Amino acid sequence: MLLVYLLLSYFTASATGFFYQDIDITWGDGRAKILNNGELLTLSLDKASGSGFQSKNDYLFGLFNIQIKLVPGNSAGTVTTYYLSSQGSNHDEIDFEFLGNLSGDPNIVHTNIYTQGKGNREQQFYLWFDPTKDFHNYTILWNPLHIVFYVDGTPIREFKNAESSTGVPYPKRQPMKIYGTIWDAEDWATRGGLVKTDWTQAPFTASYENYKADACMWSSGSSSSSCASSSSSKNYTWMYQDMDSSSQSRLKWVQKNYMVYNYCTDTKRFPRGLPPECSLNKTA
């Protein structure tokens, strides 16, 4: 198995700090802004349009962290995102989506994973703090073993590489960019679409800072990489980082107390049997 990864064409990069250096604003007609000498990025949504950004680089495995302060006040109907995605109909994708809410209601983080174009792997969680008051850390660990979603260093979801035992594809061949967006999803985002966007509250603005990608940066023209060398790999402990007993306990705590929805328990949705990866990605 290791040989497969060593033959992949990528090289290691660690990027942090300035959005000017690492990020391109891709849409929004001025609604996305890079401020404070490149240390802060804001995305805004009004009735005419949302906005978004993407990383300049593509990555294949890494530890990706960003701090986000979500839309304050009545944000019902809006969705703020931070995710990884490749291109094409058979794309891979790893999603953090933050669903808007009425003022005072709990905030929900929606997670999903696509492999070879197939998603439908949603898990949702309440956050145990108010994410609109201050910046909080949202991290994606993506390595050959598993994908782990973290909130302020606490794991909330793990998706294991079970390709060899279940046949379920695992994201390991397609490089992905990092994306951030804000957009209107009033047809489903808040209470299943029952609560619509109140455009008198617009513009809705989310803020991002302290972006860091400690990752294997894809180089399509290279046949070797520093990630692939044994000496270099020792410097990137995330590459084969697994979950210790403490992390497993914290994961179970979150899933027991804050999980809102888990596709792996939705027998009505999957009457012919739950997806095969559910047997290995058990929750509390």
By annotation, the residues acting in catalysis are 93, 97
User: Which helix H or strand E contains 254, and what residues bound it?
Assistant: helix 245-257
Measured between alpha carbons, how far is 93 from 172 in angstroms, rounded to an integer? 11
3-state secondary structure of 147: strand
Provide the terminal-to-terminal Cα distance of the chain, rounded to the nearest Å.
30
Measured between alpha carbons, how far is 240 from 227 in angstroms, rounded to an integer? 12
* 210 closest CA partner among 63, 67, 13, 41: 67
> 133: which residues sit within 8 A by CB, 6+ positions away?
69, 72
Measured between alpha carbons, how far is 141 from 241 in angstroms, rounded to an integer? 9
CA distances from 13 to 1, 184, 263 (A): 23, 34, 34
Percentage helix, strand, coil for the chain under 3-state DSSP, each rounded to 5: 20, 40, 40
3-state secondary structure of 81: strand
Measured between alpha carbons, how far is 259 from 127 in angstroms, rounded to an integer? 9
- Check if the beta carbon of residue 209 is closer than 8 Å to that of residue 49: no
What is the DSSP code (8-state) at residue 176?
B
CA distances from 131 to 42, 49, 58, 67 (A): 15, 23, 28, 10
